[in-house]
Structure 1
Amino acid sequence: MKTEFTFGDIVSVAGYENRIFYVEAWREVKETDEWGVSEYVEFELTDAINGEFLDAFETDLRLVCRKQFAEDYLLAYDVTDYPEPAGPSFHFMDDFSFGIGYAKKKAVGMAREPKETPKTARALSAQEVAKRKRKTDELLDEYNDNMRLYESFGDAEYKTKADGVMAKLRREADE
């Protein structure tokens, strides 16, 4: 299934017009029920400014900026009136009809060119949070891989590597 968006693209989401999100991952879903088969794509998103997570359907997304231009776009993005995060929760867009006509609407704050402003502390903080999240995810993946290999083969070398990764994770958490 081909999608319009790719990893690292910045998108806006129906219902979250004043916010921008990074595309982190997507799932191709093929659902079969008594009426037939439906296929759709679900995206995992991270708020580009405050790091909040969101799941949304492809029909609810609108491209703001491609990955290769994302850093420059964020450097110039005005976060003055950017909404505060709702909290450390996950949000799921589950109303397919919500996205109908969204592409026709002018997303508030997305249609105008970004203002030339220096990088704010908030934007720097959000980028730092996103960078730390990616680093933590990579370390957790490495830890889980080594533990699976250790459990499968019983080789102590994998357990040693997993313990080293866990030590890195603890150091990261203390910083």
Structure 2
Amino acid sequence: MKTEFAFGDIVSVAGYENRIFYVDAWSEIKRTEEWGVSEYVEVELTDAINGEFLDAFETDLRLVCRKQFAEDYLLEYDETNYPEPTGVALHFADIFPTLPSVESVAEIGKGLKKVASVMAKKKAQDEVKQIDELLDEYNDYMRLHEAFGDVEYKTKADAVLTKLRREASE
């Protein structure tokens, strides 16, 4: 199968009036179905003005300009009434109209360091508090064991001591 278009040619597409596209790639499709075989060419295109992507059948294309003349053609092309993109393409210029300044990025970095420092201090305080609570619980069970001689208090104190060792090693 031979296509009449070359990479970089500018074409128009049926259904996309007043728009022009670059030919980026094509696929030669041979489709076999129960009732027969069909062959066709599917072409990948890029809008020459706004960069929107489009797939189309070769039969829907019409040559506007060959690749070697494309640059000159686009220099003289009138874009004043060019249609808006029809798809849901993302245009990063719309999402990020201006990039942040170096100074603002540096300020954000300082803020993140401060937040990380505060979070680290908070975590350390929480760990100290948890260990203090375990020590208090251990001491309470040991006092109860000494006061009443009950083995159950000694078992609970040993369990708290095991948990305390585990927490201290983490």
- 2:9 match: 9
- Secondary structure of the 1:86 match is coil
| Aligned residue runs from structure 1 range 120-139, under 5 A | none
1:59 aligns with 2:64: no
One-letter code aligned to 1:29: I
Residues 58-92 of structure 1: per-residue CA shift (max 9 Å, x gap): 000000000000000000000000011134349xx
- 1:70 match: 70
Give the Cα–Cα distance (whole angstroms) in 1 for the partners of residues 59 and 53 of structure 2: 18
- Secondary structure of the 2:70 match is helix
- 2:96 match: none
| Aligned residue runs from structure 1 range 85-100, under 5 A | 85-89=85-89
Percent of aligned positions that are identical: 84
Residues 31-66 of structure 1: per-residue CA shift (max 9 Å, x gap): 000111110000000000000000000000000000
One-letter code aligned to 2:27: R
- 2:82 match: 82
Give the Cα–Cα distance (whole angstroms) in 1 for the partners of residues 45 and 52 of structure 2: 8
- 1:41 match: 41
Give the number of the structure whose alpha-carbon radius of gyration is greater.
2
1:50 aligns with 2:50: yes
One-letter code aligned to 1:24: D
One-letter code aligned to 2:45: L
4+ aligned runs moved over 2 Å, structure 1: 86-90
- Secondary structure of the 2:63 match is strand
- 1:29 match: 29
- Structure number having the greater helix percentage: 2
- 2:150 match: none
RMSD: 1.7
Give the Cα–Cα distance (whole angstroms) in 2 for the partners of residues 5 and 17 of structure 1: 19
Cα deviation for residue 17 of structure 1 reads 1.5
One-letter code aligned to 1:7: F
Give the Cα–Cα distance (whole angstroms) in 2 for the partners of residues 88 and 23 of structure 1: 20
- 1:121 match: none
| TM-score, reference length from structure 2 | 0.51
Gaps of 5+ in 1: 91-124, 126-175
Gaps of 5+ in 2: 94-170
| TM-score, reference length from structure 1 | 0.50
- Secondary structure of the 2:40 match is strand
Between 1 and 2, higher relative CO (CA 8 Å, sep ≥ 6) is seen in 1
Give the Cα–Cα distance (whole angstroms) in 2 for the partners of residues 16 and 57 of structure 1: 13
